[in-house]
Structure 1
Amino acid sequence: MSHLEQGVPLGQTIVPQGNGLPPNEDEHAAKLSAWANKYRGATVADLDLPPALSTSPNTSLSSAMLSASSHDYSHLTVLSEETRSLLGYLPISKLKKLFESNELSPNDPVSKAMMSFQRGGGRKYKVITMETELWELEGFFENVGPLATGAVQDFAVVTDGSRKFVLGICTTDDLETFVKRRPA
């Protein structure tokens, strides 16, 4: 029978999940490590994103949709006409569904279909800049790691560090394209 000396720390107790696997924190750490190896220090700037295409809340939905489709964009950012501050975004796939169901018409303003960013509230805005590392960005999309928001994300708005300028929109497709074109 062995005895531990008094005052010797035992370390963290690790309780396995019901299926015998390590706890989720270890799975998250393994994912983050794998992503760091996959991207090898690359940042959002390495994605060579096209400039963001923005619209205003008063633009007609038909004009916004035409702009998005002519540039093959899946999302448009919506900026205030007065302050140029980021108000929200317009998901083009949602817009098509709203037209098909006759919930909106092409002459309606963007404000009727845009998704507004929540001000205040429980969720904190995660700043994604050109210097954000791609492993962090993948974690943002997958809701794992330092940029996790509490929900899986399908795109990220890339801004400058002070969030004054929208520089681009990034999707998981951009990450996949980067991995495919990067030499092993």
Structure 2
Amino acid sequence: MAHSESVLEQGIGLGPTIIPQVNGLPPAEHEDDTRLSAWANKYRGATVADLDLPPALSTSPNTSLADAMLTATSRDFSHLTVLSDNTRSLLGYLSVAKLKQLFESRQLQPSDPVSKVMVKFQRKRSEGRAAYKVITMETELYELEGFFEDIGPFATGAKQDFAVVTDPNRKFVLGVVTRSDLESFVKRRPA
């Protein structure tokens, strides 16, 4: 009788090799995957649209810091997005807390333009930095929490305190979402 060999069909890849632990059990699931799974269960398919965010408040790079601060504090916003005067494209953001700090230390004058202190978004991957992540109304909340915690497909290389919500093509700023928005959503949503 001829000896037959087992040959895998062409094009069928082998799955990952699973090496059992010393006790013979399969390895524990990766910690990040476990956290993402727990968040997916917590939010149960909810998306950014379910947060009912107020419309974004934006400013121009040429606006005075005094005007930007007045606009933000009158509406109790922690961040303002900065849009180009010409194209209305998203350029970066202004942190109100950081702005207050710089005013108090007298490093800035109220008449200075927003462009002097705004944080510019990193659009493309550069050395040591992740590319800009697009957060839309369709982004699931577990992915958003992953963005905040720097875990999963929306990880940027650093934890984040807020996210700018845009349309998928990044042409329109629709809102700004913070960690506290997620916490409020969980508190008001029935278990």
Q: Would the TM-score normalized by the shorter structure come out above 0.5? A: yes
Aligned partners of 2:124 and 2:132 also within 8 Å: no
Report the equivalent of 1:3.
none
**Do the aligned partners of residues 183 and 99 (structure 1) sit closer, same or farther apart at CA in structure 2, a change above 3 Å counting?**
same
Structure 1 unaligned segments of length 5 or more: list them. 1-5, 17-21
1:182 to 1:104, Cα distance in 2 relative to 1, 3 A: same
Match of 1:37 among 34, 41, 54: 41
Q: Which runs of 5+ in 2 are unaligned?
A: 1-5, 8-13
| Paired residue secondary structure (2:93) | strand
SS at match of 1:157: strand
Shift of 1:146: 1.0
**Which residue is equivalent to 1:113?**
117
| TM-score, normalised via structure 2 length | 0.85
Choose the corresponding residue for 1:173, options 155, 161, 180.
180
Distance in 1 between residues matched to 2:154 and 2:122, nearest whole Å: 17
Query: What residue in structure 2 maps to residue 101 of structure 1?
Result: 105
Read off the aligned partner of 2:81 and give its amino acid letter.
T
3-state SS of 1:129 partner:
coil
Matches within 5 A, 1:11-30: 11-13=17-19, 26-30=30-34
- List structure 1 segments (4+ residues) > 4 angstroms apart after TM superposition: none
Residue 142 of structure 2 is aligned to residue 142 of structure 1: no
Using the alignment, how far apart are the partners of 1:79 and 1:15 within structure 2? 53
Q: Which of 157, 161, 167 lines up with 2:168 in the alignment?
A: 161
* Partner in structure 2 of residue 19 of structure 1: none
CA distance in 2, matches of 1:154, 1:71: 19
Distance in 2 (alpha carbons) for counterparts of 1:14 and 1:172: 38
Give the letter for the 2:181 counterpart.
D
Equivalent residues, number: 172
Partners of 1:54 and 1:172 in 2: how far apart?
20
